[in-house]
Copies of this chain bind each other. A is one copy, B any other.
Amino acid sequence: MSEILLRKLQNYLGFSEIERKAVLSLPSQTITLPARQGLEEDTGGDGDVYVIEDGFACRYRMLSDGRRQILCYLVPGDVIDLRRFITGAPPPPAVSMSQLRMRAIPSSAVLGMIERMPRLMRALWWSTIVDESIVQEWLVSLGQRTALERISHLFCELLVRLKAVGMAEQDSFRLPVTQAELADTLGLSTVHVNRTLQELRRMDQITLQNGIVTVTSFEKLQALALFSPAYLQMRAATPPPLRPASA
């Protein structure tokens, strides 16, 4: 297993050398798939656990008349299908939003590890709790925040999440997401997402080119978005970048 999972889990708990080794030596197989492809085809109910290494994906729900709501983003470091692995309940459908690289870890290996190392189990649980908190925070955004606040909030959240796994620079990160997908994420129309992005640029809050978001001042954006990172439940400091966000 690559380092990214360890980075992710270390946001929640500190680990001993032995625990770190256990994570890094999990057997895994790399899976790559192109943008806009359903994840189920490649991650079918075989019970493996997947960790995103690079690229974005999302879960979504469609209404019968074609409206779509994106339920969560799956970004590098995220562990997916943990729930299915534990409860057997299938999660909502997911698609890649960009080219995606992930690792499949046999569930038996995960099971073995968490049985021997309760702190790792706790960290994995913790990550599922945070995933829930994120959905709740999105509910707050859709229910209460204006378009400007919603976009700003999403950017703040992604910057923090991606920095936590070394996939963002100090003030910028790669966002391989289309404006139409942002619209389905935020409950807005494509046109209005575009307008609002323009406005954020005009306000000199962000820069967005070639899929790279750069934040002028995180503090200002955070204030604008009414963002407070507590719901992400991370320990204070974030580790140094794993590699350039432009990768």
- Stretch of A1-9, A59-67, A93-101 with 4 or more beta carbons under 8 angstroms from chain B: A59-67
Q: Is the CB of A89 within 8 A of B129?
A: yes
Q: Is the CB of B226 within 8 A of A140?
A: no
- Chain A interface mostly: helix
A119 is an interface residue with CB less than 8 A from chain B: no
A87 is an interface residue with CB less than 8 A from chain B: yes
A186 is an interface residue with CB less than 8 A from chain B: yes
Return the chain B residue nearest A66 by Cβ. B144
Rounded to whole Å, the gap between the CB of A61 and the closest CB of chain B is: 5
A65: B residues at CB distance < 8 A: 226
Q: How far is the CA of A69 from the CA of B140 in the complex (A)?
A: 6
Q: How far is the CA of A48 from the CA of B86 in the complex (A)?
A: 24
A187 is an interface residue with CB less than 8 A from chain B: yes
For window 116-173 of A, CB contacts with B under 8 Å fall at 122, 125-126, 129, 132, 135-140, 142-145
A68 is an interface residue with CB less than 8 A from chain B: yes
Given contacts A63-B145, A69-B144, A87-B126, 5 further A-B contacts (CB under 8 A): A71-B140, A87-B125, A89-B129, A132-B135, A139-B142
